[in-house]
Amino acid sequence: MSIRTVTTQPFSDQKPGTSGLRKKVPTFQKQHYLENFVQSIFDSISPPSGATLVVGGDGRFFNREAIQTILKMAAANGFGQVLVGRGGILSTPAASCVIRKYKTYGGIILSASHNPGGPDGDFGIKYNGSNGGPATETVTEAIFAKSKVITTYRILEAADVSLDQLGETTLGNMKVKVIDSVSDYAELMESLFDFAAIRALLTGGFKIKFDAMHAVNGPYAKEILEGRLGAAAGSVMNAVPLEDFGGGHPDPNLTYAHDLVDIVYGKDAPDFGAASDGDGDRNMILGKRFFVTPSDSLAVIAANATLVRGYTKGIAGVARSMPTSAAADRVAKALNIPCYETPTGWKFFGNLMDAGKVTLCGEESFGTGSDHVREKDGLWAVLFWLNILAVRKQSVESIVREHWAKYGRNFYSRYDYEGLPTEEANGVMTHLRDSFASLTDKQFGKYTVATCDDFSYTDPVDASVSKNQGIRILFSDGSRIIFRLSGTGTEGATLRVYLEAYEADVARHHLDAQDALKDLIQIGLNISELIVRTGRQQPTVIT
C-alpha cells in the first residue's frame, strides 16, 4: 500500500448549503469531484495525527463507493481510526450519537436527506464536528475556499474494505472498525424514554404504523419499535433500505408519504402513525385521521416534556427556526423559559445546546430534536410522542386539541415551488425586498402589515451574524407570510412560502388550515407576483 498524491483542478460549484454539498449522483461520479471535496474537508479541519473519524450514510446509491474513497483518503491524511456503520449505514442522528459517545474528532455523513435517490437521483456529503452537529458556517466557508484552489489530493492505493462484517481491519496505518449501526442509538433512546410504559401501550391493543420509506430508519425502527417495544409484526412498513428508496421520494409529509396517509385515514386505521425520511432525521406525526403539523408537534413536546423520563427536571429553553410557527413561543412563555428564533439549519441550534441555553428545538420542515444529539432526530420524536401517549392515555387528536384550547391555535401551512429557474425565483425575492417601504402599514382586508424585513440573526453565544435568511411580512395581529429560497435542492431553485395565523377562539379551531389561511395565501401570491413571475399556477407540495 502506498499513498498517492493526485493532481487535480478545482470545481466551481462545491459551496456547501445548510446541510452540506448536494448534487446529482452523476456529478459526484465525475473524476476527482468527490475526492476534491473530501480533501477540502480534511484540509479545513486540520485533524491531529491519529484522530478518529465517523463515516456512514443513508444507503442511497453511491453510498458504498463514496465510503471506500473516504476511507482511503482518511488513511492517507493521517487519521488513526474510522468508525463506519455496518453496510455503510448510519442514520444522521445515529452518526451524531456515535461521534458524541466515542468522543471522535468528527464525522462525515453521506446523505441528501429527503431528496430522491437512485443512479439519477441526489447525493450529498457533509462534515459534523466533535459535538456531533453540522459544521459551523466558519468551517463550511473554509471548505468552500479550499475547494476553489485545490490542486492535489491524497489517497491510499489499497483494496476496498469489507463493510458488512462487524470488527476491525487495517487500511495502511489506519484502523477501520465496522460497528453495529443500531445498538448505540437504541441504547441512548432507552435511557431517555420509559420503554416499559411504551411497551405496555403497544402490547395493550394500541396500534401503530411507522413508514420507514425504504430509507435508513427501517433497521432502527424494526429493532426499537417491534423488537424492544413489542409493536406487532408489520407495524414498521417499507423497512428495508434501498438505494433508490423503492422509487419513492423519502420525504415524510402528506404528499410523499401517501401510503401511510391512506392507512391512517382509512378503514380500521391505527391509533398512531409516523414516518421518517431518507437519513432518519425528519418525522411526521399522525393520529387516527389526524395530522399534527411539525410546529404543533414541537409545541406539544415542549408542553409535555416533564412527563418523559429524560426530561423530568424540565427544559432549559426552546429554539425554532424562523419560518416555524410561534406555537412553541407560547409554551415557552407559559413555562417562563426562553425561546430562540434562528435561521433555518440545525447548526444554529448546536451553539445554543452546547451553551446549555435550550433543550428542545425544531423546524417546520418536519425536524424535531433535543440536546441528546446535535441533529434533528425522527425516531426520537416518534418515541417522545409514544411516551406522552403512554402516560396521558389519550388519543393524539385529543392531546392536540387540549393544547390548542390552552395556548390557542397557530394555523400554519407551507407552499413549496420546486425546480424553479433560479433567475425567476431570485426575481420574486428581489421584488419583495424592493416592496418593503410600500407594504409597511398597508391594509389587506383584516390584515395590516406592521413591518417587513430580511431576517438577520446574531448568535447569542458567539455573536456571529447571519443575514438574508428569509423575507418576513409581519402583520399587526401576529400573522406572518415568509418567503425563503431553500438550500436543500440540487436543481433549479425551491421557493417556499410560509403562512401563519393565530386563532385564540376555540370555536374556530376545527377549521381546515387551508380555509383559515385562504386570505393570507391570496395576499402572499399578490404581493410577491409569484404566479406572474414564475408561471407556476400551483405549488409542487402543500404541507
| H-run or E-run covering 193 | none
Cα radius of gyration (the chain): 23
In 3D space, the residue among 231, 259, 229 whose CA is nearest the CA of residue 245 turns out to be 259
What CA–CA distance (Å, rounded) separates 350 from 218? Answer: 26
Q: Are 271 and 205 in contact (CB under 8 A)?
A: no
What CA–CA distance (Å, rounded) separates 19 from 375? Answer: 11
In 3D space, the residue among 267, 187, 202, 196 whose CA is nearest the CA of residue 234 turns out to be 202
Say which of 113, 325, 413, 479 is annotated catalytic: 113
What CA–CA distance (Å, rounded) separates 176 from 256? Answer: 37
Q: Are 466 and 457 in contact (CB under 8 A)?
A: yes
Q: Which one-letter DSSP state was computed for residue 17?
A: B
Q: Are 174 and 82 in contact (CB under 8 A)?
A: yes
Q: List Cβ<8 Å contacts ≥24 apart for 164-169.
A: 164/86, 164/87, 165/86, 166/86
In 3D space, the residue among 234, 186, 227, 228 whose CA is nearest the CA of residue 209 turns out to be 234
At 246, is the secondary structure helix, strand, or coil?
Answer: helix
In 3D space, the residue among 104, 36, 43 whose CA is nearest the CA of residue 66 turns out to be 36
Q: Are 226 and 198 in contact (CB under 8 A)?
A: no
CA separation, residue 390 to residues 27, 307, 458 (Å): 47, 10, 40
Written as one letter, the residue type at 3 is: I
113 is catalytic: yes
What CA–CA distance (Å, rounded) separates 283 from 300? Answer: 15
In 3D space, the residue among 488, 483, 465 whose CA is nearest the CA of residue 529 turns out to be 483
Q: Are 280 and 379 in contact (CB under 8 A)?
A: yes
Q: Are 304 and 392 in contact (CB under 8 A)?
A: yes
Q: List Cβ<8 Å contacts ≥24 apart for 349-356.
A: 349/133, 349/319, 349/374, 350/131, 350/133, 350/134, 350/136, 350/374, 351/136, 351/459, 351/461, 351/462, 352/317, 352/319, 352/460, 352/461, 353/133, 354/131, 354/133, 354/461, 355/460, 355/461, 356/316
What CA–CA distance (Å, rounded) separates 148 from 499? Answer: 38
Q: Are 126 and 19 in contact (CB under 8 A)?
A: yes
Query: CA angle, corner 248, sides to 244 and 250, nearest 5?
Result: 90
Helices and strands (H and E) in the chain: how many: 19, 27
Tell me which residues are annotated as active site.
113
